[in-house]
Amino acid sequence: MTVAREFASVLSPEGKLEPTEAFEPFADRLKQANDELWGTAFRQMKLVRAFDREGTNLQRQGQLALYVQLEGQEAAQIGSGLATRPQDTVFPSYREHGVGLVRGLDLVKILALLRGVTNSGWNPEEENNFRNYTLVIASQTLHATGYAMGQTLDGKVGTGNADEDEATIVYFGDGSTSQGDLNEALVFAKSYNTPEVFFLQNNHWAISVPVSVQSPVPLYRRADGFGIPSVQIDGNDVMAAWAVTGQFMDDARAGKGPSFIEALTYRMGAHTTSDDPTKYRTRDEEQHWRERDPIDRLEKYLRAQGTTDAFFSDIETEAADYASDIRRRTLALPNPEPLQMFNHAYAEPNQEIERQQMAFFDFEASLEEDA
């Protein structure tokens, strides 16, 4: 579809419906939504923020090796995640806890990965096609494009059956746009007309490097060079994220090829808990974005529609209970058997792995001799 060249937004920071001109191509899609959907979105945004803060606490208390914060990006993730269908496949990077929640992933599995008690996290086929986290920047974009090429070759695209046609969505950050992997993925996506949505969460900082250093032009315009339609949205607007993603995913399933979304948002926390953003950001900048909090924005809208205090207080209680349950189950995770690290490195027996396993046995034996 053809879209206008400006910021697409519909829900203002004051919680009012004020669609921009760039949102007009997607406006009809909002007719498919209702306040029940936005209530679901609000609940999931609150749950994942509670998870996020509990994950940060667990890392600070020495229970996780590392934690990757998402606070501030809930609307981009929950809105786009709710726009996917069960048959779609999701390729996250390493911060998409909200998308994982929408897809039904038990988020303790993310903490198990960050606690170091599992090597890969989960089996995507058992988790509603939500693929594993990828810590190597942008590598998942190539994986996604390859998978989407397969969807086309398998005849799972453009059949006209909305309940079975498939698409792929891949998430990445602004730092990934400087990687060769993403650019190669875009070349192949356009060349093979893959059923794919590239979803960029521009949270303004690639660790300590601002976007303005990486790109003198808005990142969504880079898609022009690949002949891929793109749009920039308000990433703190859950309605815009849902509507634009839903339209592009429908286009992908229908065989209209790839598209590109740049969601302008902000990570309120650190890049990871090993980072200190006070070294490169200002308090004024953080306050500017705090006043545009995506959850507060949706709450204002829902209250204006007559949603009761009981609804919000019930979700507050549920979120607190959810965080407590996450903590309890994370601390109860068993330590893995040491030999497990050799079991799934390759599908078939491998001499190098066997050599490493023997070296491990010898090391363990040396500890007993020393004792």
Sign of the alpha-carbon torsion through 266, 272, 275, 278: positive
Interhelix angle 309-331/108-115, rounded to 10 degrees, is 40
Cα 31 to Cα 209: distance, rounded to the nearest angstrom? 40
Q: Is 267 a catalytic residue?
A: yes
Can you read off the two tokens belonging to residue 136? Answer: 């190597």
Inter-residue contact 189 to 148 (CB < 8 Å): yes
Contacts 24+ apart (CB under 8 A), 68-71: 68/94, 68/95, 68/114, 68/271, 68/272, 68/273, 69/95, 69/267, 69/268, 69/269, 69/270, 69/272, 69/273, 70/95, 70/96, 70/97, 70/98, 70/267, 70/269, 71/267, 71/268, 71/269
**Comparing C-alpha atoms, which of 242, 216, 218 is closest to residue 230?**
218
Q: Is 43 a catalytic residue?
A: no
Inter-residue contact 102 to 81 (CB < 8 Å): yes
Cα 84 to Cα 222: distance, rounded to the nearest angstrom? 24
Q: Is 280 a catalytic residue?
A: yes
Active-site residue, from 222, 271, 297, 327: 271
* Surface-to-core class of residue 126, CB atoms within 10 Å of its CB (0-12 exposed, 13-18 middle, 19+ buried): exposed
DSSP state of 291: T
Active-site residue, from 60, 280, 346, 355: 280
Phi, psi (degrees; rounded to nearest 5) at 237: -115, 105
> At residue 144, what is the residue type?
A
Active-site residue, from 49, 103, 267, 297: 267
Cα 91 to Cα 99: distance, rounded to the nearest angstrom? 10
The residues annotated with a catalytic role in the active site are 267, 271, 280
